[in-house]
Each structure stands twice: as structure tokens, then as C-alpha cells.
């Protein structure tokens, strides 16, 4: 176990010294957990193979699963990747922000950082602490989500500390992540075509504003077939899976409640849309009910999902039920994360 310093930054104007201290840790090859607008990241110098190895070790992550390199401004990608006109159209519209773009890598990015691939993922985060840290470090910061491999990405300092205390040098507590799900990942296929590898806050419709064709990788909404070639190494790893089985229910509230009652379990947990809470409370008085946000507000649900899954995971439930999101807009990102948490188990009740 290593000594981890936790630094709280709640006011950017008083943060300069803290940021500089964390930046020096990055420069000397250390590990710093920092907040972004999506989820917390576990960062290290992206130009150092040794630093990348440290990240893999701290997370318990297979080293063929590449890291995203975080840059301070879109044009910084020039030093590390082969950019294109479409990259700059994306940058102009969505950066800084929750978008990651896969580009051909230059030799300046060590193979360890990109998991041995000839491409590399770049992202320019909008969070002021992330941005200030990258600038102060003077190098791009390689960072996966700051969870132990296999558990949901952390969206609060508390969850980061649970996973990463003793495994990194510094944790910067910058409060709760605004969005709560990881960035949208796209790969540039050609100048008019993007392949969506991971949905996020930036939706396929948003992407269509700068690119005429948006292809959606099959693995975004379906389980990979045995032996199928993966487009993104992360797709093949088990993700976001709590200890209790998660079951997605697709139906209206009364039908779901009936199903839950018929399938006897002792310790039941349900993520319930805000409006449906009174009905669930009346019908399932013994179940633990978590408010999953308003039905029509996917961003509220995105903000809560990983937090709730992690909290639920501590309670040893026999089963965790959750609703099935639509496959459109921001809900596509929820759907993508939730089917993984549920190991693709959806009970259709309509
Ligand atoms: O919001 C986010 O993207 C957060 C914050 C910290 O920026 N980061 C994040 O990183 O979610 P990570 O490592 O947990 O997820 C990155 C995903 C992985 O599934 C990885 O396989 C994929 O991106 N990836 C990275 N480089 C790739 C590449 N060159 N080609 C295809 N997929 C890549
Ligand atoms: Mg991750």
C-alpha cells in the first residue's frame, strides 16, 4: 500500500498550489486521481510507458485495454496523433467536453499507453480542475476511469477513495461528477463517417450535426458473440457488474411490481423512476427502493446510476431490479451501461 494524499478543491480560485503539487506528481511519474465532468480519472504522464504500467497495476486492469489521453486543448492532439478535418469539426462543436476520439497514433505515445494498438484515444475534458492539471503538468494525462477494474466508474470522491486509497499518490476531491457516465467514444472512419464505440452525453443526433454518417457498433446494444472481433478492447471486459444480479425489467410499473412479487426474493432492491415511488412503496413495502430520477430526465438518471449501483452493492441484496432505458439520445448511454451491469438480462413484460 502506498500513502495517498487527498486534496479537496471546491473553489478554483484557491486551487493553484494544490494543482501545481498534483502536476509535479504527474511529472515525476506518479498517479493522480482527478475529477472530470463525466467520471473521475486515474491519471499519469501519457508520454511515459512506466506511468501507464502503473495505472494498469493500480486498477488491476489488463494491459491490452488502452488508455485515453487527456489534452488541454484540441490542437494538442497534433503532437500525438494524425488528425483530420472531421477531428476539427468535432473539436469545434464538442471540445472541451465529454467526447473521446480515436485517431491514428504517432510514436510520441508509448505502446503501453495505447495497449499496443496503432490508434490512440484523445479527449479534452471540460472540467476546470482537469484542464488546469493537464496545463500545469505540461504533458497529456493518460487516464482510465478511477475504479478498480470491473466495478462502476466512480462519480464521487467517496467512491474514488474506497477504490483508490493506497493505490495512487494523490486524490483530488472536486465534488460529484456532473454527468456521471463516461465520455462518448467515436472512431473516425473517413471524413464523413464516424463509428460510435461507446455512447455518452454526446448523442448520435448531436454527432450528426458535424458528420453525415454515424454508425453504431453492434456491441453498444448487444452482447458480443463468442469469438467476435472487438472494435474497442474495453468491450470484451466484464463491466459495471455488482455482486448481486441486476435484472432489467421492461414494462409499466404495475406489471413490473407484479413480476417482482411473483419472483420471491428476500432482499430486493429496485431502482425506481421518481414518479413511480409512491406506488412501489405501497406495493413493495419490504423492498429497498432507490429514487432513479424522473422518468423523462435521462441526465438525472445518468448522474445517479453508478452511484446507486455502488451503494446497492454494499448491501448484499439477492437481486437488483432496474427499468430498461430506451435506445435513443442520452438513454442509449444508460442502456449501454445497464445491460452490461445486468449481464444482458432483460425481462420483457409487455
Ligand atoms: O469519460 C471518460 O472517458 C473517462 C474520463 C476519466 O475521461 N475515462 C474512461 O476511460 O472512461 P476508460 O479507460 O475507463 O475507458 C476508455 C475506453 C476503454 O473501453 C478502452 O478499451 C477504449 O476506451 N479505448 C481506448 N483507446 C482505444 C483505442 N485506441 N481504440 C479503441 N478503443 C479504445
Ligand atoms: Mg472504465
pLDDT per residue as tens digits for the range 2-48? 999 999 998 888 899 999 999 999 999 999 999 999 999 999 999 99
Among 31-35, 67-71, 239-243, where is mean pLDDT lowest? Answer: 239-243
Cell of 232: 474497442
The number of the ligand 1 atom at minimal distance from the alpha carbon of 237 is 19
Distance 293 CA to ligand 1 centre (A): 27
Question: What is the distance, to the nearest Å, from the Cα of residue 252 to the centroid of all Cα atoms in its chain?
Answer: 29
Centroid of ligand 1 to alpha carbon of 100 (angstroms): 8
Q: How confident is the model at residue 225 (pLDDT cuts 50, 70, 90)?
A: confident
The atom of ligand 1 lying closest to the CA of 121 is 26
Rg from Cα positions in the chain: 20
Which CA distances in Å does 50 have to 55, 64, 125?
A: 9, 15, 23
Q: What is residue 251's three-state secondary structure?
A: coil
Q: pTM to 2 decimals?
A: 0.96
Alpha carbon distance 246, 249 (integer Å):
10
List pLDDT tens digits, range 297-309.
999 999 999 999 9
What pLDDT digit, counting tens, does each position of 139-198 carry? 999 999 999 988 899 999 999 999 999 999 999 999 999 999 999 999 999 999 999 999
Verify whether ligand 1 is closer than 6 Å to residue 41 (CB atom).
yes
Q: Whose CA is nearest to atom 29 of ligand 1?
A: 120
- Confirm or reject: Cβ of 283 under 6 Å from ligand 1: no
The residue whose C-alpha atom lies closest to atom 13 belonging to ligand 1 is 144
Exposure of 239 in the CB half-sphere (CA atoms within 13 A): 22
Q: For helices 157-164 and 298-313, give the axis angle rounded to 10 degrees.
A: 40
Residues ≥6 apart with Cβ < 8 Å to 347: 247, 248, 249, 250, 251, 259
Ligand 1 neighbourhood includes 156 CB (under 6 angstroms): no
Angle (deg, nearest 10), helices 298-313 and 329-341? 20
Is 35's C-beta closer than 6 angstroms to any atom of ligand 1? Answer: no
Q: Measuring CA to CA, which residue among 201, 231, 237 is closest to residue 218?
A: 231
| Chain segment 98-142, per-residue pLDDT in tens | 999 999 999 999 999 999 999 999 999 999 999 999 999 999 999
- CA 348 – CA 334 distance, rounded (Å): 17
Helix (H), strand (E) at residue 17: helix 16-27
Top-confidence residue, 64 or 315? 315
In angstroms, the CA 102 to CA 121 distance is: 4
- Which residues make Cβ contacts (< 8 Å) with residue 161, sequence separation at least 6? 6, 171
Amino acid at each position: 500500500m502506498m500513502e495517498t494524499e487527498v486534496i479537496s478543491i471546491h473553489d478554483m480560485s484557491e486551487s493553484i498550489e494544490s494543482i501545481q503539487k498534483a502536476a509535479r506528481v504527474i511529472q515525476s511519474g506518479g498517479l493522480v486521481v482527478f475529477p472530470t465532468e463525466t467520471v473521475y480519472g486515474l491519471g499519469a504522464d501519457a508520454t511515459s510507458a512506466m506511468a501507464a504500467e502503473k495505472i494498469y497495476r493500480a486498477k488491476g486492469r489488463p494491459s491490452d485495454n488502452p488508455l485515453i489521453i487527456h489534452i488541454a486543448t484540441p490542437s494538442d492532439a497534433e503532437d500525438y496523433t494524425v488528425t483530420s478535418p472531421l477531428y476539427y469539426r468535432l473539436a469545434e462543436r464538442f471540445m472541451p467536453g465529454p467526447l473521446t476520439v480515436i485517431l491514428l497514433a504517432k510514436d510520441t505515445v508509448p505502446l503501453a499507453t495505447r495497449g499496443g494498438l496503432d490508434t490512440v484515444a484523445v479527449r479534452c475534458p471540460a472540467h476546470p480542475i482537469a484542464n488546469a492539471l493537464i496545463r500545469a503538468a505540461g504533458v497529456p494525462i493518460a487516464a482510465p476511469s478511477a475504479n478498480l477494474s470491473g466495478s462502476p466508474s466512480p462519480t464521487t470522491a467517496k467512491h474514488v477513495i474506497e477504490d483508490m486509497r493506497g493505490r495512487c499518490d494523490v486524490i483530488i476531491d472536486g465534488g460529484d461528477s456532473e454527468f456521471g457516465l463516461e465520455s462518448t467514444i467515436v472512431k473516425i472512419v473517413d471524413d464523413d463517417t464516424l463509428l460510435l464505440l461507446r455512447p455518452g452525453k454526446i448523442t448520435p443526433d448531436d454527432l450528426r450535426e458535424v458528420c453525415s454518417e454515424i454508425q453504431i457498433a453492434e456491441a453498444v446494444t448487444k452482447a458480443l458473440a463468442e469469438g467476435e472481433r472487438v472494435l474497442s478492447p474495453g468491450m470484451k471486459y466484464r463491466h459495471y457488474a455488482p455482486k448481486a444480479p441486476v435484472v432489467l425489467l421492461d414494462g409499466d410499473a404495475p406489471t413490473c411490481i407484479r413480476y417482482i412479487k411473483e419472483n420471491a426474493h428476500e432482499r430486493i432492491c429496485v431502482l425506481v423512476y421518481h414518479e413511480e415511488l409512491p406506488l412501489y412503496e405501497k406495493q413493495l413495502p419490504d423492498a429497498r427502493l432507490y429514487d432513479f430520477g424522473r422518468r423523462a430526465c435521462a441526465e438525472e438518471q445518468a448522474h445517479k446510476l453508478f452511484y446507486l449501483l455502488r451503494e446497492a452493492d454494499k448491501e448484499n441484496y439477492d437481486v437488483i431490479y432496474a427499468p430498461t432505458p430506451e435506445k435513443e439520445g442520452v438513454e442509449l448511454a444508460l442502456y449501454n451501461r445497464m445491460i452490461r451491469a445486468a449481464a444482458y438480462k432483460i425481462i420483457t413484460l409487455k
